[in-house]
Structure 1
């Protein structure tokens, strides 16, 4: 079993933000420590997802430059409209 060791880290925040955090902690019946840990975890997860999306976009751009394969805006729009309408349809085929 792997155990993770939590290490303290200091964060300096302005008085207004600290007061808001303390008020929210009281309302949520949580400690400010819990609130800050939760906020940091959510931020890190969101930014990791954002970075993964960015990397996917860069890879797609590289793939396009290498192959020229693509779908037009109209093709993509029509496909997305069908998906939005609840149809289970395959994406349009790529072409050069």
Structure 2
């Protein structure tokens, strides 16, 4: 969304939160408006990533339920240990 396409939105915060926001904005030499936009942007980006992770987990669960294919925790750990050591190896084959 470009700046020209931005639309004002209002939110209600109590006086204590408003004062905290103003103090932090002053300390950071930013406006309260900038601080709120930054907070919302970071929150939405984090929650989008969290939701994508959740959706991937649900897809993986459904794939497991449909096929029964899996790795044991020990197999996965051994593979991840190899990757961490810099060995670019393929994952072990899934078993049913």
The two structures have a TM-score, normalised by structure 1, of 0.89
* Structural mapping, 1:6-85, within 5 Å: 6-85=6-85
Gaps of 5+ in 1: none
User: Aligned partners of 2:65 and 2:95: how far apart in 1?
Assistant: 13
Gaps of 5+ in 2: none
Q: Which is worse superposed, 21-30 or 82-91?
A: 82-91
CA deviation map 1:55-91 (0-9, x unaligned): 0000001111111110001001111222223332222
Offset at 1:43? 0.4
> Cα distance 1:14–1:87, how it changes in 2: closer, same or farther (>3 A)?
farther
- CA RMSD of the aligned region, Å? 1.6
The two structures have a TM-score, normalised by structure 2, of 0.89
CA deviation map 1:29-67 (0-9, x unaligned): 110000000100110111111111100000001111111
Q: Which is worse superposed, 65-74 or 75-84?
A: 75-84
Aligned length: 95
